[in-house]
């Protein structure tokens, strides 16, 4: 009986590993969408000229297709949901462990979000299929030590796999593109044009740069220098209601300008634009939809050519 029990236990464990590998392989097989994006970032050898890095605001604001068409560069958007500077740093290091560093690194700083010092890894099960990237594992383990168990223990990781993960895996195996997947292009996520904002009322609040966030901004600056990447600090558009709501907005912008100055960089503030009051350009106060992102990316691309890459725009 004991022998049979041991055999059943071994079979069960091996079956769980097999099921998990089947699930993860299907996710990695996706040719479009967020899992194709993560596969590109964490497993492939790339040689993009320009990377856009940051949070979901980066992911939704920098249209790589428009940028490439105007500048002639090959760009990719490695913005991920909920990325603090620490998480962005980990993603960047994991990318560079497999790929050639870009010539330009555009780092979109969410200055309204720098005060929290939070390192919650949002949508963390999305990263499970890519933990063979040792740098990604080490960076995320330092934030959340459960990631070791997520990599090696199917009893620990599989419970976090839901119906959406299964559906995405099946799409990968069957070569089916979902509606959400089709919104992605070279890492950029184009949100369907819609107006979801019902009000422009925002309670006033203060911003500041948390010491943890500052340390990782410095780490990104240092890493960029080590890899000979031309780092560009920027803040992409927010709805104009935020401009009035942040009580010390001018002070926080001045601090970012100072950080750039002491590191011989420049900080480009695009957070408030003439079109920032248009509800039809935003899904919420902080995120632009596809239409708004197109307008901003076109503006930024010409600005990039003239003031950053310093080439005359025809």
DSSP string, 131-195: TTSHHHHHHHHHH-TTHHHHHH-HHHHGGG--HHHHHHHHHHHHTPPPTTGGGEETTEE-PPS--
Query: In the chain, how long is the greatest CA-to-CA distance?
Result: 80
Positive/negative CA dihedral, 193, 199, 202, 203: negative
Residue 172 domain-assigned (yes or no): no
Task: For strands 188-189 and 104-108, give the pairing.
Answer: unpaired
What's the domain count of the chain?
A: 1
Residue 137 domain-assigned (yes or no): no
Asked if residue 172 lies in contact with residue 21, where contact means CB atoms within 8 angstroms, the answer is: no
Per-residue confidence (pLDDT) for residue 314, from 0 to 100 = 44
How many Å separate Cα 73 from the centre of its chain? 20
Give the range of the structural domain holding residue 50, as residue numbers without chain letter. 34-126+178-308
Per-residue confidence (pLDDT) for residue 280, from 0 to 100 = 87
- Residue 142 sits at the vertex; the CA angle it makes with 96 and 230, to the nearest 5 degrees, is 30
Can you tell me the distance from the alpha carbon of 62 to that of 288, in angstroms, rounded to the nearest whole number?
Answer: 10
Find the CATH number of the domain harbouring 301: 3.40.50.1110
- Please give the mean pLDDT across all residues of the chain: 93
Residue 122 domain-assigned (yes or no): yes
- Residue 126 sits at the vertex; the CA angle it makes with 54 and 16, to the nearest 5 degrees, is 160
Residue 184 domain-assigned (yes or no): yes
Residue 53 domain-assigned (yes or no): yes
Nearest to 60 by CA among 179, 184, 188: 188
Q: Write out the chain's pLDDT in tens, 314 residues.
A: 777 777 777 787 888 899 999 999 999 999 999 999 999 999 999 999 999 999 999 999 999 999 999 999 999 999 999 999 999 999 999 999 999 999 999 999 999 999 998 889 999 999 999 999 999 999 999 999 999 999 999 999 999 988 889 999 999 999 998 888 889 999 999 987 555 666 678 889 999 999 999 999 999 999 999 999 999 999 999 999 998 899 999 999 999 999 999 999 999 999 999 999 998 899 999 999 999 999 999 999 999 999 999 864 44
Residue 191 domain-assigned (yes or no): yes
Per-residue confidence (pLDDT) for residue 12, from 0 to 100 = 78
Half-sphere exposure of 35 (CA within 13 A, CB side): 28
Residue 203 domain-assigned (yes or no): yes
Residue 155 domain-assigned (yes or no): no
Per-residue confidence (pLDDT) for residue 196, from 0 to 100 = 62
**For a pLDDT cut of 70, what percent of the chain falls above it?**
96
């Amino acid at each position: 009986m004991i022998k049979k029990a041991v055999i059943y236990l071994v079979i069960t464990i091996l079956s769980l590993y097999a099921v998990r590998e089947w699930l993860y392989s299907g996710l990695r097989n996706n040719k479009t969408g967020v899992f194709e994006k993560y596969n590109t970032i964490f497993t492939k050898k790339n040689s993009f000229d320009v990377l856009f890095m940051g949070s979901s605001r980066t992911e939704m604001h920098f249209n790589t297709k428009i940028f490439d068409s105007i500048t002639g560069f090959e760009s990719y958007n490695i913005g991920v949901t909920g990325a603090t500077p620490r998480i962005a740093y980990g993603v960047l290091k994991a990318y560079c462990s497999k790929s050639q560093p870009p010539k330009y690194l555009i780092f979109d700083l969410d200055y309204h979000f720098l005060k929290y010092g939070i390192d919650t890894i949002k949508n963390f099960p999305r990263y499970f299929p890519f933990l063979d990237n040792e740098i990604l594992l080490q960076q995320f383990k330092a934030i959340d030590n459960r990631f070791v168990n997520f990599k090696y223990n199917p009893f620990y990781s599989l419970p976090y796999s839901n119906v959406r993960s299964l559906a995405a895996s099946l799409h990968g195996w069957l070569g089916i593109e979902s509606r959400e997947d089709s919104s992605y292009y070279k890492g950029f996520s184009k949100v369907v044009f819609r107006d979801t904002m019902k009000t422009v009322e925002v309670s006033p609040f203060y911003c500041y740069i948390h010491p943890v966030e500052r340390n990782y901004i410095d780490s990104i600056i240092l890493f960029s220098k080590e890899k000979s990447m031309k780092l560009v600090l920027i803040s992409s558009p927010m709805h104009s209601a935020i401009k009035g709501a942040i009580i010390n907005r001018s002070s926080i912008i001045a601090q970012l300008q100072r950080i750039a100055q002491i590191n011989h960089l420049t900080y480009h503030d695009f957070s408030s634009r003439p079109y920032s009051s248009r509800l039809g350009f935003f899904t919420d106060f902080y995120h632009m939809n596809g239409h708004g992102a197109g307008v901003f990316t076109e503006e930024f691309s010409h600005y990039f050519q003239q003031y950053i890459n310093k080439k005359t725009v025809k």
